[in-house]
Amino acid sequence: MSLQPLGIVVAYLLLALGVGLVAYRVGGSDAEDFYLASRTLGTLVLLFTTFATLLSAFTFFGGPNLAYQAGPEWILVMGVMDGVLFAILWYVIGYRQWLIGRAHEYVTLGEMLGDRFASPGLRGLVAGVSLLWLFPYVMLQQMGAGEALRGLTGGAVPYWGGAALITLFMIAYVMLAGLRGVAWTDTLQGLFMLSVLWVAVVWILGSLGGLGAATRGMVAANPDFAALGGGLYTPQFIISSAVTIAFGVTMFPQINQRFFVAKSATVLKRSFALWPVLVLLLFVPAFMLGAWAAGLPIEVPEGANVLSVLLSEYTPGWFAALVVAGAMAAMMSSSDSMLLSGSAYFTRDLYRPFVRPEASDRREAWIARIGVAAFALLAFAASLSRPGTLIEVGDTAFSGFALLAPPVIVALYWEATTRDGMLVGVAVPQILYLLHVLVPPVSVAVGGTTVSLLARSYAGWDVALAFMILAAALTVGVSLVSSPAVDEDAARFAVGGD
């Protein structure tokens, strides 16, 4: 196989980098512009930059892979979680944070909570937990890129080569652009991806003989695929995935920081209402392609992305390369958003408060860049061991973030929340969940039946769901029995009116 597709991919990545650079020159050079583009993002840019951040390897390659193996019901899971549940949380958490952040000029979630509860400890804890779960998610992008390039070039570029390429671009990009750069390229890429995806659908359906024929082929190969549910898709799986992902997404540093950057409430409102439409336009074609591929005589090697294989089989080489380039660029920009937000969390919430309060801005900027490079390289090293499928790795990260959401929602809406309540509500569920992720399950015999301890799921339910409830209960419970510290200031979270 040739290396020509690689040329197209690299050219596209360079182009994206160029756009980011131009955008960066337009903006200012202070921290608020670097991290928040001076809180001036409009509807289109905010919508697409948030969306492109979601449009990561998880959705773009993991989703079709899952549809290929288990059936297209993943469309519904992503629909309920992204189109409806996340949109509602966008209002419940996002709008509230925007109102509070605008009044007090907050840049990160940790900063907002730390200020309200007068607790640098809470600030550092939230930042630390976020960075911990960001790691597997950055790794996910590198895994996705490695597979995508290998599939596209028929193995000429090895897995590690693709992963290394995107790591390099990620680092270069974050060092040179800022949120404004990332947001601009996200918008271009979101629009680009949406268009090429639909072209791909038309192209592939054309060569398969239309929609009806494609679905008939899929059903003939897997009679179960047309039926709702069955196999992997149990109600427990659907509800667990949708809930943990939707809540988890709101606590992702790069998404959560977006809540602070809207220019006006109108921008937030428009994005909110457009959310289900965008979900429909993107996920239905992407995942149906994966599901249709199940009825086609194509070979998808172990671990490969079905979308790359499908495209290189049914569309001209240059077009397949363009789609993969677009997907990789989208993954790159979502990784950039993650690294950028991660570096904001690291320097503002950990380095400055705990290591060197007197650090100069210049020094802080350097620490941020070195931190980004180190973080990306470590994630790259970890991605080489391939600890699971894209969906598995992503799901673990989403669940970890999801545990942060209940305490944050309680704090945003309940004035009587105390510092102790927050610290316990954040820390305890995290420790418990980490134990379940890191320690292998143990079976214990209790009264004649065996009970599995430390398992990731019980009767099909993700254990993270229970910890989310526990997190809310602990936050409320401990707040009720503890009294607020003298310097806590609930008024900081007031949003007017009542």
Binding site for another protein (CB under 8 A): 39, 72-73, 75-76, 79-80, 83-85, 87-88, 91, 95-96, 99, 102, 210-212, 214-216, 219, 223-230, 235, 238, 263-266, 269-270, 272-277, 279-280, 284, 288, 495-498
Q: Rounded to the nearest whole angstrom, what is the least distance from the CB of residue 14 to another protein in the complex?
A: 35
Q: Closer to another protein at the Cβ: 269 or 363?
A: 269
Q: Closer to another protein at the Cβ: 84 or 175?
A: 84
Q: Closer to another protein at the Cβ: 299 or 498?
A: 498
Q: Rounded to the nearest whole angstrom, what is the least distance from the CB of residue 279 to another protein in the complex?
A: 6
Q: Rounded to the nearest whole angstrom, what is the least distance from the CB of residue 150 to another protein in the complex?
A: 31
For residue 444, the surrounding DSSP H or E stretch is: strand 442-446
In degrees and rounded to multiples of 5, residue 39 shows phi and psi of 55, 45
Q: Rounded to the nearest whole angstrom, what is the least distance from the CB of residue 169 to another protein in the complex?
A: 33
List Cβ neighbours of 355 (8 Å cut-off, separation of 6 or more): none
Q: Rounded to the nearest whole angstrom, what is the least distance from the CB of residue 410 to another protein in the complex?
A: 16
Q: Rounded to the nearest whole angstrom, what is the least distance from the CB of residue 114 to another protein in the complex?
A: 22
Largest CA distance in the chain: 71
> What number of CA atoms fall less than 13 Å from residue 441's CA on the CB side?
11
Q: Rounded to the nearest whole angstrom, what is the least distance from the CB of residue 367 to another protein in the complex?
A: 29
DSSP class per residue in 167-236:
HHHHHHHHHH--HHHHHHHHHHHHHHHHHHHHHHHHHHHHHHTSHHHHHHHHHHH-GGGGSSSBTTB-HH
**Could you tell me the two tokens for 494?**
């007031």
Q: Judge whether 270 and 253 are in contact, CB under 8 Å.
A: no
State the Cα–Cα distance between residues 46 and 38, nearest whole angstrom.
13
Instruction: Give counts: helices (H), strands (E), the chain.
Output: 23, 4
Q: Closer to another protein at the Cβ: 276 or 477?
A: 276
Q: Closer to another protein at the Cβ: 440 or 497?
A: 497
State the Cα–Cα distance between residues 167 and 154, nearest whole angstrom.
21
**Could you tell me the two tokens for 126?**
């939230």
**Could you tell me the two tokens for 289?**
């392609």
Q: Closer to another protein at the Cβ: 47 or 57?
A: 47
Q: Closer to another protein at the Cβ: 216 or 369?
A: 216
State the Cα–Cα distance between residues 401 and 410, nearest whole angstrom.
16
